[in-house]
Chains A and B, each alone.
Chain A
């Protein structure tokens, strides 16, 4: 079993946060819904590698990233479309386009693989950003766990307003109503084409940020910093990332 250690942390880390990170790394290493454990760990490796990629640096500096052609510098044997997805979202997510996403699907990456790749990549980004912020080196990658993906697509998922199919509020079944049902924000249903990935990502979200219930409770202080301070940090990061959502 993958065990993440924060013995080298410069400050004490909350126990619930350590446990959430532990679950996240285990989830990355295990077979997913559409991807094997080996592929999921490779995605995490590629996320870290993207920041050393010459093509990504050139694109980031260009007026439009789509004017720069070339090959990514890769450290895995992931398919080209998957590497493009990982590198572009890791290094220049503000300028992603619907037509770019559609091109990746047309080139052979399935919608389900696309969504699961986004989930694994963004979980890795969250874990690595935390280590960077607190002053630790990124954690070692876990060993991949053998096994087959479940390959279950939720029958209630359909194309909505986002680029990928998702489970709309009115379509959420009883088991998933807490995460995708009425009153739940679009961002929480973003990965719902792969429900297990969505649930896993928001498990980490609950410890890094706040749970859906805590978000609605402005009377209780859940963290050492105030709600206003939490939202200020969140807002500044999103502004730097130029994320309109």
Chain B
């Protein structure tokens, strides 16, 4: 998957993307620094909420992939352009679901 750059129009977007990547990665020091940055910027409550979201999507993605859940019909057409642009349609899980 490509590298994310900038805030994407979302306050502290780059910081949160870095935190998500650190959670998914195996660099302990990077995660420690990213966690400290999120805590300092968004507070302890913000950190906990970001951790909850990351945790849940790390799990729910695996439910989708292991059950072969297809994208909902109502979402297929509205997401077609950005799935194509972002390369999501080329994900192995897309080809199998």
Contact = CB atoms under 8 A, between A and B. Distances in A.
A70 interface: no
Contacts of B23: 129, 132-133, 237
A161 interface: yes
From A85, A122, A161, A162, residue with most partner B Cβ within 10 Å: A122
B38 to A, nearest CB: 9
Interface residues of A, number: 66
Interface string B52-73: 1111111111111111111110
A123 interface: yes
A123 B1 CA distance: 25
Nearest to B45: A224
Contacts of A166: 67
A176 to B, nearest CB: 17
A190 B21 CA distance: 26
Contacts of A17: 48, 52
B4 A242 contact: no
B32 A127 contact: no
A12 interface: yes
A98 B68 contact: yes
Given A13-B48, A186-B70, A243-B91, A208 B65 contact: no
A196 interface: no
A242 B92 contact: yes
A47 B46 CA distance: 28
Interface stretch (A37-45, A146-154, A228-236): A228-236
Contact of A93 (B11, B49, B50, B62): B62
B80 interface: no
A223 interface: yes
Contacts of A205: 56, 60
Interface in A74-106: 85, 89-90, 93-98, 101
B61 A241 contact: yes
A243 B65 contact: yes
Contacts of B56: 126, 204-205, 208-209, 234
Interface of B: 1, 4, 8, 10-13, 16-17, 19-21, 23-24, 31-32, 35, 39, 42-72, 83, 86, 88-89, 91-94, 96-97
